[in-house]
A and B are shown apart, each in its own frame.
Chain A
Amino acid sequence: MTGVPHPRYEVVIGLEVHAQLRTRSKLFSPAPVTYGAEPNHSVHPVCLALPGVLPVLNGHAVELAIRVALASQCHVHPQSIFARKNYFYPDLPKGYQISQYEEPLATGGWLDVRMPDGNGGERKRVRLHRIHMEEDAGKSIHDAAVAGDATHVDLNRAGVALLEIVSEPDLRSPAEAAAYLRALRSLLRYVDASDADMERGNFRCDANISLRRHGESRLGTRTELKNLNSFRFVEAALEAEIRRQASLLDAGEKVVQATLQFDPASGRTRVLRLKENADDYRYFPDPDLVPLVLSDAQIERVRKTLPEQADARCERFQRQQGLPEEDARLLCESRALADFFEAAAKRHGDAETLVNWIRRDVLHALGEHGIEIEASRLTPEALADLVERVRQGGVTAQSARALIPELVLSGGDPLRLIQERGLEAVSDTGELEAAVDAVLREHAGHVERLRAGEEKVRNFLIGQVMKRTGGKADPAALRRVLAQRLGEGGS
């Protein structure tokens, strides 16, 4: 809730996200980028930091970084510098990380985020401080079960391209933080820059949080929470840290600058490292690289490849397809979903009906099975065909809707399925008449009551005919035949 999460203190949160860029090779090394490979199966002399190797910048990584910067309204700097961040760690083979320091790729920018329960539908602008490129480190495994009394080092991930996105401390609650992360994730996927999948570790978040009295303009001492690897953890960790800091301040103590880790089992944050001695990374421009110089023409070229922005598309759906805003927004939450809808709408003009099916059946099925639209085997064309067949009366809506989960999971041609399984709507008058007659005979008592004026009995009789026809009776035809058999005029 963007409402006040703490009565006595204002919460100030800034987030630092590291997102892995979707490149096939690493940022400065030509080694392949893999997931789940055997240790040290995706390495090359450059990312092993062998004597004599040199870095060469991946052009595609630059393009993806520029896309993200443009999509978030940042200023892309015509010149930026790669700098070395020097420290020792076994999964940092060179003893320094190539990153950007004083002159990053982009600064400024913002995301307009829809906050939960807040602002009455207005979005909150969360400003970005900077975006820059850097290499990832490898993995150090300390797990005693795997490594015993030692640490095992796997360099597959060393050198993979990362984008670091730093927000201004504009967030005011854990819920806002989570909303911002979702919006950022959406943006990264929208421009195809990153898979941004927290479970797979390619979207990592560190949070900086401080408290201050309401109305105070100076920032309180902030602490850093690291290694938050799911949205749930982010909120829980921040809530825990708010409690910890608040109780310190309530007791008149000071918050000490530190790095903390969240322990989900206890629901508490604990200090990993005090920040008294700030790390001395000795940043300096990497002399093995030249400045990254980008011309206006290059940046414009990237701008043209950007997919239509979510907001513009949402607006267009409302304008062109006549969709209500809420429906348009739902579709535009994900580029893949918006693409799906548009493809279906191309084939079947009734946008609103399609949206209903998407919301009620397709998304429901996806949710049930925990998969995203990108993984759905139901094609937009298949949905369009199915919707049309229902409209024509060739199949009942009920039968058609029942097919959706299967189509989503396994794919298939719905029209063929209808035929194979004999799901065609029964609208053949002869068959219907036979079914109606049988029901009227069996439930003579209900027929009496209907004739006496109890209208609600009609639905019971309709239901019985449906049952008898295995749900395949076309409802409109059924009503007609029933009325006719009852001797009701007109209809």
Chain B
Amino acid sequence: MSATLREDVERVAALARLAMSEEELSRMARELEAVLGYVASLAKVDTRDVPPTAHVVPLVTPLRDDVPAPPMDPGLALSNAPESDGSSFVVPKVIEAEEEG
């Protein structure tokens, strides 16, 4: 198993917000390697001038009328929240380094 694959697994686990133990990481990397080797066989298929499938059934773009639905009851909107203050969803503080675009 290549070191780069192991690095890839770590990088990808971070992207997917999955924390993995050393043992899990090693096992995942092994399993991924097996599956990826199998998957690399696609590289041999000649796909010149073949468009990627956008959708299996060609459809006219469905559009919605700009009519607002009645808003959801806020209590219902928050009803499954693991933590809320009754009006907002509450999460642990975001530190600046985590801020996104």
Contacts and interface: CB of A to CB of B under 8 A. Distances in A.
- Does chain A touch chain B in the assembled complex, meaning CB atoms less than 8 Å apart? yes
Interface of A: 23-25, 30-33, 38-45, 48, 56-62, 81, 87-90, 92, 140-142, 147, 149-155, 226, 259, 272-273, 279-280, 282, 285, 287, 290-293
A30 B68 contact: yes
B88 A24 contact: no
Interface of B: 15, 17, 54-55, 59-72, 74, 77-78, 85, 87-94, 96-101
A152 B55 CA distance: 38
A90 B60 contact: no
Given A30-B68, A48-B72, A293-B61, 12 more contacts: A31-B68, A32-B69, A33-B68, A38-B87, A39-B87, A43-B71, A48-B77, A57-B63, A88-B100, A90-B94, A226-B101, A272-B99
B94 A140 contact: yes
A contacts with B: majority SS: loop
Contacts of A147: 88, 90, 93
A43 B1 CA distance: 48
Nearest to A31: B71
Nearest to A93: B89
Contacts of B96: 272
Contact of B64 (A30, A141, A142, A226): A30
A149 B91 CA distance: 9
A372 B89 CA distance: 38
Nearest to A62: B63
Contact of B66 (A25, A41, A42, A226): A25
Contacts of A38: 74, 87
20 contacts: A25-B67, A30-B68, A32-B68, A32-B70, A39-B74, A40-B78, A41-B71, A44-B72, A48-B77, A59-B65, A90-B91, A140-B94, A147-B90, A147-B93, A152-B88, A153-B90, A155-B77, A282-B15, A292-B61, A293-B60
A33 B69 CA distance: 10
A351 B41 CA distance: 77
Interface centre among B55, B65, B78, B88 (most CB of A within 10 A): B88
Contacts of A272: 96, 99
Contacts of A56: 62-64
Contacts of B99: 89, 272-273
A290 B72 contact: no
Contacts of A285: 54
Contact of B72 (A45, A57, A287): A45
Contacts of A43: 71-72, 74, 77
Contact of B55 (A23, A57, A88, A290): A290
Given A87-B100, A285-B54, A31 B64 contact: no
A279 B101 contact: yes
A40 B88 contact: yes
Contacts of A61: 66
